[in-house]
Each structure stands twice: as structure tokens, then as C-alpha cells.
Structure 1
Amino acid sequence: MENTPTNKEWLKQDQWVKPFLKKYRVLLFFAIFLGFLTFFSAGALMFNSGYLISRAASLPENILMIYIPIVLTRAFGISRPVFRYVERLVSHNWVLKMTSDLRLKLYQVLEKDAIFFKSKYQTGDILGLLSEDINHLQNLYLRTIFPTVIAWILYVFLIIGLGLFSWWFGLCMLLLLGIAIFLLPAVSVLVNGARQEKQKVAKNELYKNLTDNILGVSDWVFSQRGKEFVHSYEKEEMKLHQIDKKIKDFNHLRDFLLQVLFGGITIAVLAWASIRFPGNHGGAANWIAAFVLTVFPLIDAFAPLPAAAQETTIYRDSIKRLNELPEPQQSVQEDTPILLENTKIEIKDVTFSYKGSSKKVLNQLNLTIEPKEKLAILGRSGSGKSTLATLIRGDLTPNQGELLLGGVPTASFGDRMTESIGVIHQTPYLFHTTILNNIRIGKEEASEEEVWQVIEQVGLKEMIEKLPDGLQTMVDEAGLRFSGGERHRLALARILLQDTPIVLLDEPTTGLDPITEQQLLDTFFDALSEKTIIWITHHLQGIQKMDRVIFIEDGLLEMSGTPAQLLKENTHYQELYAIDRGTN
């Protein structure tokens, strides 16, 4: 069994929280001090107000007898919102500085080590890390560290202060307030902390599955399993709802007990003050209201602690996930050239599963793609076809087996893989610059003559020549002035200019009408006739142009053969063909 580091070890090894605590410690201490002054001013305001009301009700002989309480009430009444406002400015400024550095560090890790990082996490995991964990660390400071430290300081200050009046009542408050500050938070961590950890895991899993399935929703529709997808999602959502309900029920019970505790503390202070300051009217009895009213603003300081404590489980998990990321300097790859003898792709006994998942996305897969072969990969969402394409590009490393391009492991290519494999995605992105610059992304040093040659190959020469500025025409953000088919043709022009021996088509015709789709496929296959084509698709239009078709199901190669052979001999392919043609 793998050894799991303890909380103390995680804290010692942490590189995502401690550095920023040290870097901005002056601002942190200042914010905590201002937070203490805020609650001190609130308590002092109620203390002076209580004394002032009682003293004024006893009909003092002269207004000067209550002058000092009046001045102090005004002073603390002004200082409380001022300290609160400044504390919020300082604490949020501190948190924004910290999270800014935190996000920069995370970006540097992802940007410099993107290939290595993606070999461990799925798309949903990455999105969960970016959207959840950074926010959790921000809340760690604002909702846990600040209120907890401030409450502890107030706790010590109150016990010492009460002890000066009465040592035995100081001990009583030590125990009663200790329940709110230590016992209830500990119980919250034990009971609800575990539930919140389950909640976060369930949310991340739901987020991951929903992200991956939405990206492949066309495959669910194509395989006529849309209802199964909705049912599985609703089932997982119901589990999350049940966890949420248990957490809320416990929170309501805990908050009720907390209010009962504060009610008991108020009664205890009233009873003690009545004994400590005896008298029916005036004199020492004026202090009774002062002490009792002080309890109420202090409730705001102690009440959030149980909720803050139970969230530490979530924060610990976020810190753990972030600390598992490599340091930026660990991912620097040497820019060494890789010489290929051929472009044969060999997939030998490849098994792959994502980190944290026991499911094998690919299981002992064997496949060889010969140079200039035209291969179509079919399969429903989650079957492993997109993972296989990512492995071929070298963005993932197989857990077992080998994946070779020209006899070289694909994962060793790094960024140089773009010299061997070009990719046309489902939604090609065009940048807000000229048509010439958009196409030259494939080959920055290309001449205009070379650009015109590839434009003619993809059938856009006549259209671009009619534009007032020709190749210098500015492209709108994301290329919105062009149709879907035109954007794909411009993406193909990039690939042709780049002249890679292998081209991966990742469902490039999704969302196009049948006529545009067929025209685009004809252009693709004619322009890429001398290259290896790996075509991921859920649609069988144009499939007859492929040399071979394979179908991946649950990580296994379920069928393989030429389109004509499969249509004649394979029942499953015949059903898919009938569904695609609308004859079933």
C-alpha cells in the first residue's frame, strides 16, 4: 500500500501556501490586527453604550458625569466601521496579490509543462484544478485563516480581561467559549469535513464526466445512447444532491446549538455581572448592561469558526493537488532534432488510464498505420478514440506498451511533433490578423507565392482574389466573417504549407450541412492524397475514401477492415451505416 503523507508532512512540503504567507506577511499581520481592532471596537461600543444607558437612566446630577462614556461611544462608533473598511481593503489587497502570484505560478507550470501535465489529467480535471482549487485557496485565507486567528486573539484577550475581574468566571468563559472555538469546529471537521471531501470529489467527477461527454456528445447521439447519457448524469447528480442535503442538515443543527450556546453565555454573563456588581439602581449596577451587551458583537467573531474549520478538508485536498504539479523548471525539454527513417506508426500493447481512475481507456491495443495510409477511427464518446489520437500526437504517454513514430516513442518528440503531425480540429481558430498571417502560422518564412499555391489547392483562390485587400484582408476575431467550410479550408491551407507527412482530422466536418461536408471532404482527401490521414469521425459520409476503418469500443479494437469489406461482412458496421443513412 502506497504511503500517504500526513497533514504535517504536506504542510512541510507545501510550495503553494507557505511561500505567499511569508512573502506578504506584513500585510497579513496588519489585516489580522485591523480585524481584531474591528471586533474590539464593536465590543467596546456596546460596553460603553450599555454603561451610558444605565448611567443616564439613574439621573446623574450633571451631564459631565456621563461625558466620558458619551465621547467613548462616539469614538468606538466611528472606529468600528473605519477599521472594518480598512481591514477589508488590506485583507482583499493581500489576497489579490497572493492569488495573482498563485495564478502566475500555475500558468508557468501548465505552459512550460503542458505535455507532461496532460499525460496525468483529463480535460475535466484541468478545468476543475483551474476553476475550483485556486478559488479554494483564496477562500482559505479569507474564510479560515483571518477569522480563526482573529477569534483566537479575541479569545485570549477576553479570558485575560475577565480574569482580572473574577478568576473563577474567567475559567467558566474559558470553557464556554472554548466549546464555540475548539469543540464545535472539531466536531464539524469530523462529521461534515468528510462529507465535504466527498462532495468535492463528486463535483470534480461530475464536472470531468460532463466536460468529456459534452465534447463527445455527437458520439452519444450517433450511437443512439442519448437517454443513457442523461440517465447516468442524473444518477451522479442525485448522489451529489444527497451529500449536499446531509451537509446542510448538519449545518442547521450545529448553528442552532451554537446559538443556544451563545444564549447560555449571555445568561451566564448577566448572572455573574448581577453578583459582581450588586445594587438595585445606579452605582455598580450600571456595569451589568455594559458587560451583557458586549457579548452580542463578539458572536460575529466566533460564530463562523465551525463552518471555517470543516472546510479545511477541501483546502487540504486543493493544496495536495497543486503540490503534485511539477515545478516549472522540471519540465524544460531539450530542443534536439529527431531524424525519422519513415512515418510508420506502431501501437504495441498500449494500455492507458487517466490518473486517479481505474478505468482503462485503452486496453492492450495493437495497431499499425503505414505511411500514406488513410485510416478512419470510429467509436462512441469515451471509447478511447480521442485518447488514442492524443497518444499518437505524443501529448500522452501510455501506462504500458509502446507507441512509436518511425521507431521513435511519440512522447519524446515534445513540441517538435508539429513537424511530423498536423491537426485540423472541429472548430479551427482564425486570429485577428491578415489572411496571409493566419495561413503563415503553418510556415512563418513562406513566401506569398507559396501561400497562393496552397490557397489554390484548397479552393479559396477565387474568393480571396475578389476581396479588396486580398491576402492583406483582416480576419475578424475567430474568423467569424468566414463560413465553417471556409475556415476549415484555411486550416487545411496551413497544414499544406507546413507540409507534415501525417495529418490528423479531428471531426472536422461536424456541424456542416451535407453538401458543404462532402465538398470539404473531397478537398481534404484530394489535397492530402500523398500523406498519412488519421480521421476521427462519428459520421460515415466520405468513409469510402478510406483505406481502412477501425472501431474502438471500451478501449478495445472491435473491428477493422476496408469500408467495402466491413459493409459486406460486419453486422455492426452495417447497422452504423444504416443509421447514418437514415434507413434504420
Structure 2
Amino acid sequence: MLRMPMIAFMTCINAIFLALVIAAFLITGDGVSSGDILNIMYYIIVTPLITVSLTKVAYSGEAEMTLIDALKRVDQILEIEPLPDNKSDLSPKDSSVQLEHVSYRYKDATRDAVSDVTLSIRPGEHVALVGPSGSGKTTLAELLVRFFDVSEGKIDIGGVDIKNMSSSGLMKQVSFVFQDSRLIKTSILENVRMGRPSASEEEVLAALEKAQCMDIIDKLPNGIHTILGEKGTYLSGGEQQRITIARAVLKDAPILILDEATAFADPDNETKVQAAFSEMAKEKTVIMIAHRLSTVADADRIFVLSDGKLEEQGSHADLMRQNGLYRRMFDEYSRSIEWKVGV
């Protein structure tokens, strides 16, 4: 937004030198006097000082606008109304998930992101949410962990409405790995320990091993005590994702939500991430969100969303036989992975 005005401003103030040269030729066309020389020398000396001063003013103004914009974004976050936290000690009886006529509309939106969705997930069942982009998959996952409350309907975990559970109680029931998970600038140990702050170093190492992270740890100068971002120590997107998975492994919640968790992984990292998921998902209720339909073909059930509504549900084989939206999506996906350059 500021680039073109800044370019124009810098061009104008530096064009003063061109104006000086032209003026010098015009003034000295009939000969050069000592006064002319002094005037030209004066402007040659003073003009750079003015240019530097104006440049500093321009950069100060740009920095001020950047700061104001950042403060506005901070204010937007601080102005968000926190959800009411129920202090109830109600505990779910199991890891089942039940959605009853759930709808949600974002502020200022003209239509529901999720509309009248009803579904039931049994304890220990592995299910997938699929659908075109913008169909409401991620919104539904965020509603399950109560990032915001439903506009209509209700969500139960183990027979308990999540609104009637305390925030800490709900977080003990659910682990989640999103596609844009981030690590903070501290040690690998502390990043993983965020899943369970009371965990010992041995438990953290065990979680890292289950998450297929030992090759990452072995190459770091101080192992799990290496500070990320310090002295050029950085991890790739796929490696960060595996560390995030280790955090979820350590937390060991009965319900696991995976939202496009392999989206930024290269083929080698994706293989290791999938192996980590297989280890982590044992005896847990798993809700997967994926665009790569081959990764969810083995799910117990697949829920197909479109425009925020639940269109189809069933196993991969059942949905292929129905010849509906899922079948069309799977056929398009199959053609896309067979596409080759120059063919």
C-alpha cells in the first residue's frame, strides 16, 4: 500500500539534483560570475542535507503507519469477547462426539459457514471430514474445540455439552494438530512440554520418538535443549509439524483432531508424519480433515461437506457406490495425481 507513494516521493526529492544541473546551464549561459559559482556551490551542499532530512521524515512516517497498523491488529485481538468459562467439573463418560443441528456464522458474514450439521462419532472411531474448499471442514473442527460457540445446536463430548465443561476440562479431552501449527522461540523440550507441562524429560523423549522426531533431534547441536531460532537453528515446515505431533502425543488426549496436518510436508516428511499419526491414533477417537483423499480412504466413516452442509456419509466403498459428490471429488483427485508435465 505504501510502495508507490514512497517511490514517487524518493524520485521527486532526488530529481532536485537534475533540476540543479539544468538551472546551472541556464544561469551560466552568458558566462560565469563568482556569484553564480557561490550560488551553485551553496545549492550543491545544502540540497543533499534537505534530501536526507526529507528521507528520514518519510521513513519515520512509514514506520509510524506500520506501528499504528500493528497496534490496531493487537487491539482487534484484545477486543474479542472471551467465551464464558463454565467451572463445572462434569466429565465425559467416553470419547464419543455428537453434533446436533449445529450451525455457525462468522461475524458480518451473509451465510452460515456451517449449517444444520448433525453427526455422531463413536468412541475410538476414525472419521474424516472432506469437501471442497470453503465447505466448513476447518470451522467444524474449531467448533469442536470451542474456539468459538455455535450459533445454533449443540456439541456433546461423551454425553456432556462442551459449553458445560471448563476450558481446562475440554482441553484434557482434545488434542489438535492444524496445518499452520507453529513453534515458539524456546527449546524443543519446552515446545513439546506445552502439551503437558508436568512431563519429565524422559516422557518428552518418548513422545518425540513416537512422533518420528529422533532424526531431527540428532542433528541439533544441543538435542532437545536446542533453542529454536538461535544461531540459525530453524526447522522446515514438515519438521515443525512433527514436533507439534510430539506435543499432541505427550498430551495423550482421548480425541485427536488433525486438520490438513501434512499440507506443508515434503514426501519424506509426509511419510514420517503419517507413521507418527498411526502411532498416535491407537485407541483414540480421530477426526481427520484432508484434501488428499487417498489419506482418508481407510477411515471408518467419511463425512462429506458442501457449502457448510453435510451432504454424504459412509465408508469409502459406500460413498464410491453412491456416485455422488465424494465420487466426483475422488475421481478428480485421482486424475490430478496422474497428471504429468508435457503429457
- TM-score using structure 1 length: 0.42
Name the counterpart of 1:476: 229
1:539–1:509: structure 2 CA closer, same or farther, 3 Å change rule? same
Q: Secondary structure of 2:294's match?
A: coil
Distance in 2 (alpha carbons) for counterparts of 1:376 and 1:353: 22
Name the counterpart of 2:209: 456
The equivalent position to 1:488 in structure 2, one of 229, 238, 241, is 241
The equivalences for 1:77-476 within 5 A come to 108-110=78-80, 113-114=81-82, 116=83, 333=85, 335-416=87-168, 417-476=170-229
For residue 501 of structure 1, report the CA deviation from its aligned partner. 0.8
Letter in 1 for 2:264: G
Distance in 2 (alpha carbons) for counterparts of 1:492 and 1:364: 32
Distance in 2 (alpha carbons) for counterparts of 1:363 and 1:355: 15
Alignment: residue pair count: 268
1:511–1:560: structure 2 CA closer, same or farther, 3 Å change rule? same
Distance in 1 (alpha carbons) for counterparts of 2:72 and 2:331: 53
- C-alpha RMSD of the superposition: 2.9
1:496–1:397: structure 2 CA closer, same or farther, 3 Å change rule? same
1:102–1:559: structure 2 CA closer, same or farther, 3 Å change rule? closer
Letter in 1 for 2:185: H
Distance in 2 (alpha carbons) for counterparts of 1:455 and 1:101: 37
Distance in 2 (alpha carbons) for counterparts of 1:574 and 1:542: 15
Which deviations, in whole Å up to 9, do the C-alpha atoms of 1:544-577 show, x marking residues without a partner?
2311111111222111111232234434323322
Distance in 1 (alpha carbons) for counterparts of 2:277 and 2:95: 20
The equivalent position to 1:532 in structure 2, one of 285, 297, 300, is 285
1:339–1:460: structure 2 CA closer, same or farther, 3 Å change rule? same
Q: Secondary structure of 2:330's match?
A: helix
Kept in 2, the 8 Å contact 1:362–1:555? The answer is yes
Q: Secondary structure of 1:418's match?
A: helix
For residue 507 of structure 1, report the CA deviation from its aligned partner. 1.0
| Greater share of helix | 1
| Greater share of strand | 2
Name the counterpart of 2:326: 573
For residue 466 of structure 1, report the CA deviation from its aligned partner. 4.7
Kept in 2, the 8 Å contact 1:518–1:541? The answer is no
Higher relative contact order (CA 8 A, sep 6+): 2
Distance in 1 (alpha carbons) for counterparts of 2:244 and 2:129: 21
Which deviations, in whole Å up to 9, do the C-alpha atoms of 1:249-288 show, x marking residues without a partner?
xxxxxxxxxxxxxxxxxxxxxxxxxxxxxxxxxxxxxxxx
Which deviations, in whole Å up to 9, do the C-alpha atoms of 1:524-548 show, x marking residues without a partner?
1232222111111111132223111
1:522–1:569: structure 2 CA closer, same or farther, 3 Å change rule? farther
Kept in 1, the 8 Å contact 2:99–2:117? The answer is yes
Distance in 1 (alpha carbons) for counterparts of 2:332 and 2:294: 12
Letter in 2 for 1:366: T
The equivalences for 1:508-527 within 5 A come to 508-527=261-280
Kept in 2, the 8 Å contact 1:394–1:414? The answer is no
Kept in 2, the 8 Å contact 1:395–1:411? The answer is no
Which deviations, in whole Å up to 9, do the C-alpha atoms of 1:201-245 show, x marking residues without a partner?
xxxxxxxxxxxxxxxxxxxxxxxxxxxxxxxxxxxxxxxxxxxxx
For residue 411 of structure 1, report the CA deviation from its aligned partner. 3.0
Distance in 2 (alpha carbons) for counterparts of 1:480 and 1:408: 44
For residue 403 of structure 1, report the CA deviation from its aligned partner. 1.4
Q: Secondary structure of 1:394's match?
A: coil
Distance in 2 (alpha carbons) for counterparts of 1:402 and 1:487: 34
Distance in 1 (alpha carbons) for counterparts of 2:185 and 2:99: 39
Distance in 2 (alpha carbons) for counterparts of 1:505 and 1:455: 18
For residue 335 of structure 1, report the CA deviation from its aligned partner. 4.1
Q: Secondary structure of 1:541's match?
A: helix
Letter in 2 for 1:445: S
Bigger Rg, which one: 1
1:107–1:367: structure 2 CA closer, same or farther, 3 Å change rule? closer
Distance in 1 (alpha carbons) for counterparts of 2:246 and 2:221: 21
Letter in 2 for 1:455: L
Kept in 2, the 8 Å contact 1:394–1:412? The answer is no
1:335–1:580: structure 2 CA closer, same or farther, 3 Å change rule? same
Distance in 2 (alpha carbons) for counterparts of 1:538 and 1:576: 9
Letter in 1 for 2:129: I
Distance in 2 (alpha carbons) for counterparts of 1:456 and 1:108: 38
1:445–1:543: structure 2 CA closer, same or farther, 3 Å change rule? same
1:567–1:521: structure 2 CA closer, same or farther, 3 Å change rule? farther
- TM-score using structure 2 length: 0.70
Letter in 2 for 1:544: A
1:105–1:531: structure 2 CA closer, same or farther, 3 Å change rule? same
Q: Secondary structure of 1:511's match?
A: coil
1:377–1:101: structure 2 CA closer, same or farther, 3 Å change rule? closer
Distance in 1 (alpha carbons) for counterparts of 2:241 and 2:108: 36
Distance in 1 (alpha carbons) for counterparts of 2:208 and 2:112: 42
Letter in 2 for 1:344: S
Kept in 1, the 8 Å contact 2:88–2:164? The answer is no
Q: Structure 2: where are the runs of 5+ without partners?
A: 1-68
